[in-house]
Amino acid sequence: MAALALACGLALPSAATPASSPAPVETLVEQAMAHYRLPGIAVGVIEDGRIVQVVTRGEQAAGLGPPVDADTLFKIASNTKAMTGAVLARLVQAGTLRWEDPVTKHLPGFRMYDPWVTANLQVRDLLIHNSGLGLGAGDLMLWPEPNRFSRQDILAGLAHLKPVGSFRADYAYDNLLYVVAGEVAAAAAGKPYATLVREEIFQPLGLTRCQVGQWSAAAVGNIARPHYRQGARNIAVDADPDTVADFPSAAAGGVRCSINDMLRWMQVLLDPAQAPGWLDAAQRRALWTAHMPMPVGQRLRDWDNTHFHAYGYGWRLSDMDGQWKVAHTGTLSGMYSSLALLPDRRTGVVILINGEGEAARTALMQALLKRYTAPQEAGDVLHYAGLLEREAAQRRSAGQVRPVLAPPVVVTPAQVGADAGVWSDPWFGRVTLCPGEGGMLWVSDKSPAMRARLVQSGGRRWLQWLALGEDAEAWLEFSGAGTQRRMQLRAIDPDIDFSYDFQDLEFRRLGDCP
C-alpha cells in the first residue's frame, strides 16, 4: 500500500519523530485538543493502582460552556459492554444463571434466523461476537437516535437477519446480541437491566455520577453534549430533555459516566482489594479470557508488535510490546471513548471526548500507553496523527473513499413511476417513497432521522439524507418484477460506519402512497 501511494506521487504528511523521553500527559492532551479541534475532553491515568493524572480541557458545549471537569458526564458508548458483562458475571457468581445456559432458557421466545443457532446459542455467546451475523447486523434498529424501535422489535428482528458466516466460526462485531444479554440478565434476576447495573455496579463500587436507564438530567447536571463537525466548527447536538428516557440499546452502549467514575471502575478492575468480594477470581478470569479469536490488523502489528487479539466478555484482549492489554472503545452520537488497562502493571488510561474524535482517541491513547510499554519508542500525538493521516492517504490512493459525484438532480415522481409507494423490510419495518418537497422523499416509519430526498447523478439514484451526513448516503436500487420487485440500499462511501447496515435491508412493495 505504501509503495502504491508513493508511486502515485502523493504528498504524504510527515510523522514527527518519537521523542527520546515521553511527553507529559498534559502536553499530549493539549496536542490532541489543538490538532483535532475537539470541543472537550477528559483524560485519566492510573499507575500501580493509584490515580496519578486527571486532565480536562474544553467545554461541555462548544462556545457555550461551562468547562469540562472531572465530574462531567460523557456517553461511554460501547465501553458499556464491559459493564453488561460484569452484571452477568455477578449473576453467575450468585447462581442466578450460568454462562452455558441456552438463551431460550431465560427468553423462551428468542429466535435467530437459523433454528439450530436458536437452540444452541448460550448466554456466553451473546457477548463475544461469534453468532454468524454480519458486522453491525441490524444496527439500524439502534441508531441513528432517537428512534421508535423497542427491545421487543429488536428481539423479533433478529429472526429475520440472515447470517453471513457459521456460528462460532468467525468474529464479527455486533450490538444487538448485547441488547439480548441485557434482557437475559433482566429475565433471570427479575429486574430491569438499568436497575441491575445500578445495584450490581454503580452502588457497590461507588460510581456516584454514572447514569443508565431513565434519569433526570435536570437534577444531575454537568453533562457534556455530543458534537458534529461542520467545516472547522464543532456544532453541539440538542441538549438532553429534563428527563432522559431509557432506550433499547442501553446494554450495548447506554451508560454515561464522568472521568472520576471511570477511574474508580478501572481501579476495581485492576485491584480486587479495592472492592473485596464484589467479583471472585473465577468471574474476573472469565471476563478477561480470550473467548473468541480476532484478526490482528496491520496497524496492531506495526504499532504494538501484537501477536494475539481476542474478545472476552465485553473486552478486547491483546499483547502490546510484550505486555498484556485489556481495552475497548466506544462511539455513539458524536461522542468517543477509549479505555485501556495493562493489568500486570495495575496501570490504565481512559479518554472521554464529546466530539468527532476517532483519530484523536487513537493517537492520544497510543501516545499515553507507549509511555509504559515502550517508552524509548513513544511518540507524541502528532507522531501518531501523522501515521493515521498516512494511512488515510494510502486508502485514497487505492480508491477506498467516497467517489466524487456530479451535482445531484432531484428525481421527479414521474421518473419513479410504479416504484413509488409503501415498502417494508421484515426487521426494519415500513418506509415510504412518495412525492414531497418538490421531489420524492424516502421516509422511515420507525427511524425519523432516516428521511431522504431522492436524487440522481451520473445515471444513478441515491438518497440524500436530510438529517444525516453525506458519509451515510446510499444508492437506491430496484430489481425484479411483479411480486418479486425489491428495493435495496447500497452504501456510497466504502468506509461508511458499519452501523449503517444497508446491506441487510430488502424491501418489498406493499402498496401505493397514502
List, for residues 331-362, the tens digit of each pLDDT value: 988 999 999 999 999 999 999 999 999 999 99
Give the span between the Cα atoms of 514 and 510, in whole angstroms: 11
At residue 5, the pLDDT reads: 32
pLDDT (average), residues 50-63 = 97
Residues 252, 388, single domain; the answer is no
Residues 341, 464, single domain; the answer is no
Count: domains in the chain:
3
Residues 321, 345, single domain; the answer is yes
Q: Which has the minimum average pLDDT: 193-197, 205-209, 469-473?
A: 469-473
At residue 399, the pLDDT reads: 77
Residues 212, 352, single domain; the answer is yes
Residues 281, 328, single domain; the answer is yes
At residue 86, the pLDDT reads: 98
Is residue 139 a contact partner of residue 187, using CB atoms and an 8 Å limit?
no
Residues 352, 384, single domain; the answer is no
What's the domain range around 474?
A: 409-511
pLDDT at 3 over 50: no
Q: Which has the minimum average pLDDT: 107-111, 345-349, 458-462?
A: 458-462
Write b or e for each residue in 5-22: b if 16 or more Cβ atoms lie within 10 A of its Cβ, otherwise e: beeeeeebeebbebeeeb
Predicted structure pTM score: 0.93
Is residue 474 a contact partner of residue 450, using CB atoms and an 8 Å limit?
no
At residue 333, the pLDDT reads: 80
Examine residue 146 and say whether the peptide bond preceding it is cis (omega within 30 degrees of 0): yes
Give the span between the Cα atoms of 288 and 301, in whole angstroms: 21
pLDDT in tens, 358-376: 999 999 999 999 999 999 9
At residue 495, the pLDDT reads: 87
- The DSSP bridge partners found for residue 324 are 319
Residues 54, 139, single domain; the answer is yes
Write b or e for each residue in 465-503: b if 16 or more Cβ atoms lie within 10 A of its Cβ, otherwise e: beebeeebbbebeeeeeeeeeebbbebbbeebbbbbbbb
At residue 447, the pLDDT reads: 96
As a residue count, the chain comes to 514
If we measure between CA atoms, which residue out of 405, 375, 388 comes closest to residue 470? 405
Residue 311 pLDDT grade (very low, low, confident, very high; cuts 50, 70, 90)? very high
Residues 207, 297, single domain; the answer is yes
Separation of CA 152 from chain center = 21
At residue 398, the pLDDT reads: 83
Residues 132, 175, single domain; the answer is yes
CATH number of 222's domain = 3.40.710.10
If we measure between CA atoms, which residue out of 426, 425, 443 comes closest to residue 434? 443
| pLDDT cut 70: percent of the chain above it | 96
Residues 11, 157, single domain; the answer is no
At residue 18, the pLDDT reads: 46
pLDDT at 403 over 70: yes
At residue 438, the pLDDT reads: 85
Average pLDDT taken over every residue of the chain? 94
If we measure between CA atoms, which residue out of 188, 182, 28 comes closest to residue 108? 188
pLDDT in tens, 6-48: 233 333 333 444 445 678 999 999 999 999 999 999 999 999 9
At residue 400, the pLDDT reads: 78
pLDDT (average), residues 86-98 = 98
